[in-house]
Amino acid sequence: MLWLWPSDDFLLLPDRARPVAPLVAVQGGKDPAGPGGIYFDAVVIRRAKLFERLFPWIHDGATLVPEREINPPGASDKQRRTEDLREMARSQDIAGAVALEYLGYRVDVRPIGVLITSVVPQSPAVAAGLQPTDVIVGVDGKTAKTPAALRRLISRHKPGESVRLTLRSDSGLRQLRVRTVRGPEDRPLIGVTVDQATRVKLPIPVRIDSGSIGGPSAGLAFALDVLEELGHDVDRGYKVAATGELEPDGTVVPIGAVKQKTIGAQRAHVDVFLVPAGDNAKEARKHAGGLRIVPVHSFRQALQALATLPPKR
């Protein structure tokens, strides 16, 4: 029974890094040929059985983490999965935008609302029915397309007053009222954490089919492969694994599960692993063995790092 009964904790497990090229299609491009290639990392995330909770070391490279580190406050497994897939779709759009903008194309990236990423338990947001993955587009009848605009409009109220939010979903627009509470420096808060929701319009079609894989951390790998698809020799004959969330300006943002992703890159026998600079790179080096770890802050820096590698023998 201990083997079958689920616990409240989660296991993070390594998965072998995979080539990106079969997933990416760019109008006018083609899959690169050669000995190298761009690889992306995925991590297996699942609830631990009670036995695994007691003995997580039975799985090579596993890390046991509490549910609060996997599911945002107020989110169920299903809502977290929906958000993971949304983040993957966003990472694909941004990867195409960053790569094409680097090549001189004109790319249109527009803010379209404020994405709720988590809801604070027992907050007014919970009482009002707000959920992770909801997108706020207005406050009190005024447009709120960015987190800054959302904060500004809510701050016009005194703590304890209610705000009228307009939300967009696949079924259309809806409105609801949320009571504010007193936060730091007497700011009115509703009890959510948010991110920017964007719409990306590319000058040429870029399609990335990641299937059921979610999360934003493959953005850097996707962008590198878009250049490869368009005939640019980015990998220079090396097998290059890359992890890191991309922002629209090309900044590489830190990600989670670095231990598992480093082990996954090793299992794929890649030559180089591009990792967000800072704590991510430090963690990757702990598990790298003989794998070359290259810390990067941006997409351009990643390209420069690959361009300055010694010739592949």
In a domain, 8, yes or no: no
Q: Tell me: do 100 and 225 sit in the same domain.
A: yes
Within 8 A by CB and 6+ apart from 207, the residues are: 24, 25, 26
Q: How many distinct structural domains can be found in the chain?
A: 2
- Cα dihedral: 54, 11, 273, 101 (round 10): -160
Q: 257: closest CA among 45, 31, 24?
A: 45
Residue 186 has pLDDT above 80, yes or no: yes
Q: Which secondary structure element, helix H or strand E, spans residue 66, and what is its range? A: strand 63-66
Out of 172, 198, 224, a domain closes at 198
**pLDDT at residue number 248:** 87
Residue 59 has pLDDT above 80, yes or no: no
Q: Tell me: do 63 and 92 sit in the same domain.
A: yes
Q: Residue type for 37, please?
A: G
Q: Tell me: do 72 and 119 sit in the same domain.
A: no
222 compared with 56, residue with greater pLDDT: 222
Mean pLDDT of the 235-256 span: 92
Mean pLDDT, the chain, as a whole number? 87
Q: Tell me: do 210 and 303 sit in the same domain.
A: yes
pLDDT in tens, 28-55: 888 887 789 999 988 888 777 777 776 6
Mean pLDDT of the 215-242 span: 91
Mean pLDDT of the 178-188 span: 92
Structure tokens at 279: 């704590």
CATH number, domain containing residue 269:
3.30.230
58 compared with 16, residue with greater pLDDT: 16
**pLDDT at residue number 214:** 65
For 212, the domain range is 14-104+204-307
Q: Which secondary structure element, helix H or strand E, spans residue 282, and what is its range? A: helix 279-286
Task: Give the pLDDT band of residue 161 (cuts 50, 70, 90).
Answer: very high
With pLDDT > 70 as the criterion, what percentage of the chain qualifies? Answer: 90
Phi and psi at residue 52, to the nearest 5° = -70, -30
pLDDT in tens, 195-210: 888 888 999 988 887 7
Within 8 A by CB and 6+ apart from 76, the residues are: none
Residue 83 has pLDDT above 80, yes or no: no
Residue 1 has pLDDT above 60, yes or no: no
**pLDDT at residue number 73:** 62
CATH number, domain containing residue 192:
2.30.42.10
Mean pLDDT of the 105-134 span: 88
Q: How far is CA 72 from CA 4, 119, 132, 306, in A?
A: 25, 7, 8, 36
Residue pointed to by tokens 């993955």:
133
Residue 212 has pLDDT above 80, yes or no: no
In a domain, 2, yes or no: no
The distance of Cα 140 from the centroid of its chain, to the nearest Å, equals: 31
Out of 143, 174, 198, a domain closes at 198
| CA atoms of 272 and 167, how far apart (whole Å) | 43
Q: 162: closest CA among 128, 129, 193?
A: 128
3-class SS at 199? strand
Mean pLDDT of the 231-252 span: 92
Q: 145: closest CA among 133, 137, 155?
A: 137
